[in-house]
Structure 1
Amino acid sequence: MLATSPAQRYETVLVAGAGDVGTRLARRLAVEGRRVFALRRGETPAGDGIVWLRGDLTRPETLAGLPKIDALVFAPTPDAREEAAYRAVFVDGLRHVIEALPVMPHRTVFVSSSAVYGEHGGDWIDEDTQPSPPGFNGRVLIEAEAWLAAGPVGGVSLRLAGLYGPGRTQLFDRLREGKVAVPRGRQVYANRIHVDDAAAAIACLLDIAAPERVYIGVDDTPLPIDELYDHLARLIGAPLPPDGPAPAGVGNKRLSNARLRATGFRCAWPDARDGYAALV
C-alpha cells in the first residue's frame, strides 16, 4: 500500500531521542495534526506544537510517567563512539523506554544504520543481504534490531545511509582545508540520504500497512566517492581532493532503496549532488 494512503494513522507518537532527525520528524508529525511527544536528555525547546519531555534512555528512573502512545520512534545518538555507549543507548535504552511505557505501542520504528553491512566490492545491497558489520556499532545495532523484531511492539528497523543536510556541512570544511582524499577511478561508492528525506522515510514507515521488518533508507543515486567529492569541491571552489585510500570501516557497496520506494516513498533529494548544492 502506498504511504499516501495508509491503512492506519497513528495519532499519538513518542520520538525517543529527538536530535536532528528526530526533531525534524516530530515537527513534521505535529504539522500533520498528530499529538507528538519528543524525549531528549538535554535542554528541551518550546513550541512547534510538540510536547517536550526530558529523560535519559540509559537511566530508567528518569523515564517514569511516559504517556500512553500509539507509536514509538527510537532515534537516539550515543554521546561517545564507544561500544559501551552504543550498547547503553541502543540495546538497554530501547528496552528501558519500551518497559517504561504504560501500554505497548502498535508500531515502533527503530532508526538503525547501514553500518550493519560491510565490504561488498561495490555490489548492490538490499535488505536480504546478510549483515556483516565491520565495527562494533553495526554489531550493536543488529542486536537491538533482533531484540525489537522478537517483541510485540510492531518493530520496524530503518537502516539509514550517511546523513547530510543543514548543519551537517563538515565535509565542505574538510575539502577547503585539504583534509580529504578519495580513491580515484576505483568505483568506491558513497551512499547518502538528506536529513529531511530521512525524517520523511520514518514518517512513511509509521503508517504503512503490514510493513517489512527492515528497510534501507538511502537516496536513489549511489555515487563513486571521487565523483561526489569532486562535484562538491567545484561547488565551493575548493581544490579537488588527491588520490588516497577509501574511508576505513565503511565497506564499498551500493545501497538499494527499492523496498522503501515500493511503499510509495520518494526522496525530495534523490541525488546528493543536488542536495549538497542546495546547501551552498
Structure 2
Amino acid sequence: MSERVLIAGCGDLGYRVARLLLARGEKVYALRRHPPRQDDGSLCWLKADLGRPETLGALPAGITQLVYLPAPDARAQEAYRTVFVDGLRHLVGALDSRYLQRVLFVSSSAVYGDHASEWVDEATLPAPRDFNGRILLEAEQWLAGQPFRSVVLRLAGLYGPGRLQLIERLRAGTAVVPRKAVHWTNRIHVDDAAAAIVHLLDLAQPQALYLGADDTPLPIDVLYDYLAEASGAPQVAEGQAPASIGSKRLSNARLRASGFRLRWPDSRAGYLDLLRSSSN
C-alpha cells in the first residue's frame, strides 16, 4: 500500500525528497507558508504556518509519514524555537494519530558541538555550542517521547546545485582557513541527503538516530585549497576556524550499514561536478 507523506517545510531539500517519492507513486503533500504558484500538478501544496496552529486545521486525512525539515526565518533563537519546537508540536498535534506511523525529523550535526577532531557517531553525547544545536536537541528529545515511531537524521553541511556560497567566497578571497591546527569539516551532497531521507522512510525497523554525512571528512584547509585551485580562486588566506562549527569527524557507518549508498562519497568530487555543471 502506498504511503501518504507530508513534507513540512518543503524547500530545496524537501522538494528533492518529494520528487523521489512521487517517482515511485507515493501521495505527497508539501507544506509551506508561501507555496509556489506553479507546479507540475503531481505535488499537493498546502499553505500553512507552523508557528500558527490555527492555520493547520485543514490538513489532509490519513497522513502516514511526516518528514519535518522547515527553515527558520532568521538565524535567531526565537525563530528556531518557533519552527523546530513549537511548530513540530503544533503539526504533530494536528495530524490524525490513528494513521501517523512515522515521523522523520531532519536535524543537524550542530548538536554535537566541538569534539577536538575526534570521530563522532550516534553514541556520542551531544554538547551543542550554540542555540541552534540546543533547540534542535530539545525538539529531538520531545519527539522521542511520542507514541509513534520517530527517526532523527542529523545532517552534515549541505552542498549542491544552488549552494555554491563557499565557491563564491573563495573566488572573492573572503574565505580563510586555520593552518597551524587541523580543523575537520563534514559535508553531504543535497541529493544524497534527499535519498537518505527516502531510504530511512523505507526501513521496516529503523533505529532512532542516524548521522547523514559523506564517507570523507576533510581538514578544512584541504577542502578549501582543493576548491580554490579547481575554481580558479586565489590562494586561501590563513585565519580562524569557523566560530560556530566545532572540529569533528562524522561517522556514517550506521547509515551505510542500513543499506544506504552515497552517490557522492567525497565532497571534492561532488563540488568538482558542480563546478563543471555551472560552467556549461
One-letter code aligned to 2:220 = I
Query: Does the CA-based 8 Å contact 2:35-2:46 persist in structure 1?
Result: no
RCO comparison, higher one (Cα < 8 Å, 6+)? 1
Gaps of 5+ in 1: 1-8
- Please state if 1:17 is matched with 2:9: yes
Instruction: State the partner residue of 2:197.
Output: 202
Gaps of 5+ in 2: 276-280
Instruction: State the partner residue of 2:114.
Output: 119
Query: Does the CA-based 8 Å contact 2:68-2:103 persist in structure 1?
Result: yes
- Please state if 1:158 is matched with 2:153: yes
CA–CA distance in 2 between the matches of 1:148 and 1:10? 24
CA–CA distance in 2 between the matches of 1:207 and 1:107? 10
CA–CA distance in 2 between the matches of 1:247 and 1:147? 30
- What's the secondary structure of 1:58's corresponding residue? coil
Instruction: State the partner residue of 2:278.
Output: none
- What's the secondary structure of 1:22's corresponding residue? helix
Identity among equivalent positions (%) equals 59
Distance apart, 1:203 and its partner CA: 0.5
Equivalent of residue 33 in structure 2, options 29, 35, 41: 41
Instruction: Indicate how the Cα distance of structure 1 residues 48 and 30 shifts in structure 2: closer, same or farther if over 3 A, else same.
Output: farther
* CA deviations over 1:217-263 (Å, ceiling 9, x no partner): 00000001000001110111011211111110110000000011111
Instruction: List 4+ stretches of structure 1 deviating above 2 A.
Output: none
Query: Does the CA-based 8 Å contact 1:189-1:252 persist in structure 2?
Result: yes
Structure 2-normalised TM-score?
Answer: 0.95
Instruction: State the partner residue of 2:65.
Output: 71
CA–CA distance in 2 between the matches of 1:208 and 1:185? 44
One-letter code aligned to 2:208 = R
Equivalent of residue 258 in structure 1, options 253, 260, 279: 253
Query: Does the CA-based 8 Å contact 2:2-2:27 persist in structure 1?
Result: no
Instruction: State the partner residue of 1:5.
Output: none
What's the Cα RMSD here?
Answer: 1.1
* CA deviations over 1:24-66 (Å, ceiling 9, x no partner): 0011100011011111111324226211111110011111121
Instruction: State the partner residue of 2:84.
Output: 90
Number of matched pairs:
272
Structure 1-normalised TM-score?
Answer: 0.95
